[in-house]
């Protein structure tokens, strides 16, 4: 005899994908590292602050409500052998839902414009795109 499957309780939490910092730590674990070995290496070179094994486990399995502090991020970066900026970006993505994109070869003005466009609607983005493309076409046609 088979019993019918029960539907999930209303409001029951669904499984969510691991956040970006959780994934960085998990990748280290997947390569054979352990939480303890990561914690042993987690030392901020500027302040001497450390990150504990239980904290790393929480970040991966049940992330705390608040993101790690800057010294904790530096300690995690040192432990994982990653650049601080990568850990900082992963933290921002996981806790603030902010995804950073690196713009290389552009000046600060271009970075400001891109930052300004980040929150725009699709219609507004298309308008900006058409304006930029028209500007580029005009330059080419003028021989600049």
Tens digit of each residue's pLDDT (9 = 90 or more) over 55-97:
999 999 999 999 999 999 999 999 999 999 889 989 988 898 8
Q: Which helix (H) or strand (E) holds 103?
A: none
pLDDT of residue 9: 45
Cα separation, 68 vs 76, whole angstroms: 9
Cα separation, 63 vs 59, whole angstroms: 4
pLDDT beneath 70: ranges in the chain: 1-17, 99-116, 118-119
pLDDT of residue 133: 82
Cα separation, 90 vs 62, whole angstroms: 16
Beta carbons of 19 and 94 less than 8 angstroms apart: yes
pLDDT of residue 110: 65
């Amino acid at each position: 005899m088979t019993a019918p499957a029960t539907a999930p309780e209303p409001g029951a939490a669904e499984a969510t994908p691991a956040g970006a910092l959780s994934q960085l730590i998990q990748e280290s674990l997947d390569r054979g590292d352990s939480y303890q070995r990561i914690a042993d290496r987690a030392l901020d070179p500027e302040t001497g602050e450390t990150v504990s094994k239980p904290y790393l486990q929480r970040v991966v399995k049940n992330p705390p409500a608040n993101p790690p502090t800057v010294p904790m991020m530096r300690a995690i970066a040192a432990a994982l052998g990653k650049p601080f900026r990568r850990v900082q970006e992963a933290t921002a993505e996981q806790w603030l839902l902010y995804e950073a994109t690196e713009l290389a070869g552009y000046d600060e003005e271009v970075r400001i414009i891109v930052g300004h466009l980040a929150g725009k609607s699709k219609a507004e983005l298309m308008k900006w795109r058409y304006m930029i493309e028209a500007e580029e076409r005009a330059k080419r046609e003028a021989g600049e």
